């Protein structure tokens, strides 16, 4: 219950940040398209700093076991998601944008700051497992769906700044290399901007979209329901069925981080890919906006359900 309350308070902070970004555009202090600059700063600077800093913890047997559990959970849930999206995509004739919106969450932007605020810096490491698995699939599976191109662009995958950051951070962690305090403090400070920038950008995008049109589209609510409720429930069912939360002393908390990643709204990368390959980026953005508003309520509720089931 205490964690759920902390999550709720964190969601309220995100809501206020969202409103700040929205008002910046509505009061004509900035233009909506200028959100692209903040997005680039977040993707190419803030996120890498947060990821590398997450690996700056002591190398112990417990952390290695927890990291392996987090990777196993991330792989398992994405395999389940692939099957789900394949089934629903054919059954309900989802577009590529809709399928990607259901499968891929905004964990990269939201999970690290939430874990940092609610659980503490020593737990951020485990969020990298889910993020790295998702990024790999986004630049292979999601890119293929949206671009309608076959094959994998390995160059784009291994030159992705977040993948590089994970590899660098993991190497430093495994080698036991600790960066000087002034560097880790800088990484921590810059990485702490991830959530505010993400919410400002979303608010700016909201101001540039027709909210009435977005919130009156029933199809968007179907996508949001699947992304925010069904996907986390599948993850929770998998955890409960396998009793994986009993594998390690801290397994319940490690798996909660993966579960939390499943509760976030659709990934902004889906919209970026839609822009890149001339798909319906406006529709993708609308799905993201509606889901982001709804997740302010669903994430705390899913947190309460997780700890009720896992204990």
Q: Can you give the CATH number for the domain in which 80 is found?
A: 1.20.1530
- Average pLDDT of span 185-206: 85
DSSP letter (8 states) at residue 138: I
Query: How high does pLDDT run on average in the chain?
Result: 87
Q: Please tell me the total count of domains within the chain.
A: 1
Which of 60-69, 189-198, 263-272, 277-286 is modeled with the greatest confidence?
Answer: 60-69
Helix (H) or strand (E) holding 204: helix 194-208
Share of the chain above pLDDT 90, in %: 38
Closest CA to 70 of 254, 210, 282: 254
Supply the pTM of this predicted model.
0.85
Least confident of 77-86, 96-105, 120-129, 147-156: 147-156
Q: What angle do CA 49, 54, 56 make, to 5 degrees?
A: 100
pLDDT digits (tens, 9 = 90+) for 120-177: 888 888 988 898 888 888 878 888 888 877 776 677 777 878 788 888 988 998 898 9
Closest CA to 11 of 91, 118, 103: 118
CB of 160 within 8 A of CB of 134? Answer: no
CB of 118 within 8 A of CB of 3? Answer: yes
Q: How many Å apart are CA 122 and CA 112, to the nearest integer?
A: 11
Neighbours of 6 (CB within 10 A): 16
The band of 1, judged by pLDDT with boundaries at 50, 70 and 90, is: low
Q: Residue 218 sits in which domain range?
A: 2-310
Question: Does residue 272 have a pLDDT over 80?
Answer: no
Higher pLDDT, 137 or 195: 137
Q: How many Å apart are CA 18 and CA 308, to the nearest integer?
A: 30
pLDDT digits (tens, 9 = 90+) for 143-155: 888 887 777 667 7
Closest CA to 102 of 220, 188, 196: 220
The band of 86, judged by pLDDT with boundaries at 50, 70 and 90, is: confident
Q: How many Å apart are CA 35 and CA 45, to the nearest integer?
A: 15
Q: Tell me what pLDDT residue 47 has.
A: 82
Helices first, then strands: H and E counts in the chain: 18, 0
Q: What angle do CA 131, 82, 153 make, to 5 degrees?
A: 65
Phi, psi of 250 (to 5 degrees): -105, 15
Q: How many Å apart are CA 99 and CA 119, to the nearest integer?
A: 31
Higher pLDDT, 155 or 222: 222
CB of 194 within 8 A of CB of 47? Answer: yes
Q: Take residue 224 and report the two structure tokens written for it.
A: 């949001």
Phi, psi of 266 (to 5 degrees): -55, 150
Which of 32-46, 131-145, 239-253 is modeled with the greatest confidence?
Answer: 239-253
Question: Does residue 275 have a pLDDT over 80?
Answer: no
């Amino acid at each position: 219950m205490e964690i759920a309350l902390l999550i709720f308070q964190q969601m309220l902070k995100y809501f206020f940040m969202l409103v700040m970004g929205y008002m910046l555009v509505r009061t004509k202090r900035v233009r909506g398209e200028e959100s692209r600059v903040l997005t680039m700063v977040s993707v190419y600077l803030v996120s890498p700093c947060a990821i590398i800093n997450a690996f700056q913890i002591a190398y112990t047997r417990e952390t290695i076991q927890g990291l392996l559990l987090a990777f196993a959970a991330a792989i398992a849930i994405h395999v389940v998601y692939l099957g789900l999206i394949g089934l629903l995509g054919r059954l309900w004739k989802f577009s590529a944008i809709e399928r990607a919106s259901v499968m891929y969450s905004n964990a990269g932007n939201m999970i690290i700051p939430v874990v940092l605020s609610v659980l503490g810096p020593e737990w951020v490491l485990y969020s990298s497992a889910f993020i790295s698995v998702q990024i790999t699939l986004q630049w292979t599976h999601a890119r293929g769906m949206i671009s309608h191109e076959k094959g994998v662009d390995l160059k784009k995958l291994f030159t992705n700044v977040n993948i590089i950051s994970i590899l660098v951070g993991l190497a430093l962690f495994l080698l036991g290399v600790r960066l000087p305090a002034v560097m880790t403090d800088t990484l921590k400070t810059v990485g702490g901007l991830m959530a505010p920038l993400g919410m400002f950008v979303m608010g700016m995008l909201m101001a540039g979209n027709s909210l009435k049109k977005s919130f009156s589209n029933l199809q968007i609510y179907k996508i949001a329901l699947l992304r925010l409720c069904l996907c986390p429930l599948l993850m929770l069912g998998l955890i409960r069925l396998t009793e994986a939360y009993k594998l390690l002393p801290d397994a319940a908390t490690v798996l909660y981080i993966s579960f939390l990643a499943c509760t976030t709204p659709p990934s902004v990368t889906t919209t970026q890919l839609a822009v890149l390959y001339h798909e319906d980026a406006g529709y993708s953005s609308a799905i993201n906006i509606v889901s982001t508003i709804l997740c302010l309520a669903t994430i705390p509720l899913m947190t309460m359900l997780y700890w009720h089931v896992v204990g």
